[in-house]
């Protein structure tokens, strides 16, 4: 099969599409990786699925390049990126530090605060801390989130005093320290970044209490509103904020920034996703399609980030 024209001059050799893994987001990663693998193979790339939960990482030595479609701890948090760096294998997306920061909601928010970038007020709550003191400091409603999980795993919205303690226990399934964040009541937006290009902003509308796991991957009623409804000036402000937040953690190549807008229309940063979902329900492919980029074009451009941002480059 002839290599697709979009990759001419950049022969990737043998590409391992890293997917699966052993995080709580395994099934989503398998779906993301499967879609990326099919797109690469359709373009003539010698691509092969590689599940680090089923194969020794040392087996990657037989590959020339890695396309990372792993989500969650062990794949999105800098661990896999560090191993690829040590093995000298170029890979897609962000490096070790940015991956670790993007996965750590607490430290990324601390960094944004230090740079005067707006992010909702928060507390890190550990076992033994008084939930009522958190409510006194932040008010209600609140969001409770594990520090280092994606796909809204373990996340809950808290509207009443008595719901905070159970929500903390739910989040502690994924780690003892939990992020509690003041809720910004307003529309949710997401901005996808692809190298120097910002894809069209999406406004997310759901019938669930918030954009949770079910709304992201299972519900057929979730609505991705494109165009997002913001006027040109407001969207430009949101784009500028997203790009600054992305750059602040050192992210590169591609990714997604999630935000909420308050009653005055001001945007607030929630998190950066350095390896967003690539399923048929995912936001980045939807934004790319709105910009005229099909799945193959999108995947080709993500693969090309491994030339600029791979190991030792």
Residue 55 bears catalytic tag: no
Catalytic pick from 108, 217, 252, 255? Answer: 217
**Does residue 73 sit in the same domain as residue 204?**
no
Given a cut of 90, whether residue 81 has pLDDT beyond it is yes
Catalytic pick from 32, 99, 192, 273? Answer: 273
- pLDDT score of 146: 87
Catalytic pick from 29, 94, 108, 151? Answer: 151
3-state secondary structure the chain: CCCCHHHCCCCCCEEEEECCCCCCCHHHHHHHHHHHHHHHHHCCCEEEEECCCCCCHHHHHHCCEEEECCCCCCCCCCHHHHHHHHHCCCECCCCHHHHHHHHCHHHHHHHHHHCCCCCCCEEEECCCCCHHHHHHHHCCCEEEEECCCCCCCCCEEECCHHHHHHHHHHHHHHCCCEEEEECCCCCEEEEEEECCEECCCEEEECCCCCCCHHHHHCCCCCEEECCCCCCHHHHHHHHHHHHHHHHHCCCCCEEEEEEEECCCCCEEEEEEECCCCCCCCCHHHHHHHHCCCCHHHHHHHHHHHHHHHCCCC
Give the domain CATH number at 11.
3.40.50.20
**Does residue 60 sit in the same domain as residue 207?**
no
Given a cut of 60, whether residue 312 has pLDDT beyond it is no
Residue 277 bears catalytic tag: yes
Query: Could you say which of 138, 159, 182 is where a domain stops?
Result: 182
Catalytic pick from 123, 182, 256, 301? Answer: 256
Share of the chain above pLDDT 70, in %: 91
* Residue 162 is assigned to a structural domain of this protein: yes
pTM of the complete model beyond 0.75: yes
Residues 84-95: tens digit of each pLDDT: 999 999 999 999
Give the domain CATH number at 170.
3.30.1490.20
Given a cut of 60, whether residue 304 has pLDDT beyond it is yes
Given a cut of 80, whether residue 184 has pLDDT beyond it is yes
- pLDDT score of 310: 45
Mean pLDDT of the chain: 90
User: What range does the domain containing 20 cover?
Assistant: 5-93
Catalytic pick from 25, 76, 212, 235? Answer: 25
Residue 151 bears catalytic tag: yes
The predicted model gives 60-83 an average pLDDT of 95
Total number of domains in the chain:
3
The predicted model gives 127-136 an average pLDDT of 90
Residue 271 bears catalytic tag: yes
Residues 143-172: tens digit of each pLDDT: 999 887 655 677 888 999 888 988 998 888
Given a cut of 90, whether residue 71 has pLDDT beyond it is yes
Catalytic pick from 72, 95, 253, 277? Answer: 277
Residue 217 bears catalytic tag: yes
**Does residue 107 sit in the same domain as residue 127?**
no
Catalytic pick from 271, 282, 301, 306? Answer: 271
Predicted confidence band at 215 (pLDDT cuts at 50, 70, 90)? very low
The predicted model gives 197-220 an average pLDDT of 71
């Amino acid at each position: 099969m002839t290599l697709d024209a979009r990759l001419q001059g950049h022969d990737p050799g043998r590409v391992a599409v890293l997917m699966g893994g052993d995080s709580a987001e395994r099934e989503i990663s398998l779906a993301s990786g499967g879609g990326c693998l099919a797109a690469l193979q359709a373009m003539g790339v010698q691509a092969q699925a590689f599940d680090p939960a089923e194969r020794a990482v040392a087996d990657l030595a037989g590959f020339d390049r890695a396309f990372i479609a792993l989500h969650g701890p062990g794949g999105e948090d800098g661990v896999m990126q560090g191993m690829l760096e040590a093995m000298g294998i170029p890979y897609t997306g962000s490096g070790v530090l940015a991956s670790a920061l993007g996965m750590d909601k607490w430290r990324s928010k601390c960094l944004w605060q230090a740079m005067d970038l707006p992010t909702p007020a928060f507390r890190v709550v550990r076992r033994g801390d008084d939930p009522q003191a958190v409510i006194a400091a932040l008010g209600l409603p609140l969001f409770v989130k594990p520090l280092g999980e994606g796909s809204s795993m373990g996340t809950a919205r808290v509207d009443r005093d008595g719901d905070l303690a159970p929500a903390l226990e739910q989040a502690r399934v994924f780690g003892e320290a939990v992020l509690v964040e003041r809720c910004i009541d307003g529309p949710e937006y997401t901005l996808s970044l692809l190298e120097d290009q910002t894809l069209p902003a999406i406004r997310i509308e759901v019938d669930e209490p918030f954009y949770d796991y079910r709304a992201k991957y299972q519900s057929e009623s979730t609505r991705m509103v494109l165009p997002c409804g913001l006027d040109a000036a407001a969207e430009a402000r949101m784009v500028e904020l997203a790009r600054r937040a992305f750059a602040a953690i050192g992210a590169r190549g591609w990714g997604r920034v999630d935000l909420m807008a308050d009653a005055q229309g001001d945007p607030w940063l929630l998190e950066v996703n350095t390896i967003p979902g690539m399923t048929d329900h995912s936001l980045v492919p939807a934004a790319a399609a709105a910009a005229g980029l099909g799945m193959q074009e999108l995947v080709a451009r993500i693969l090309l980030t491994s030339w600029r941002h791979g190991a030792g480059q």
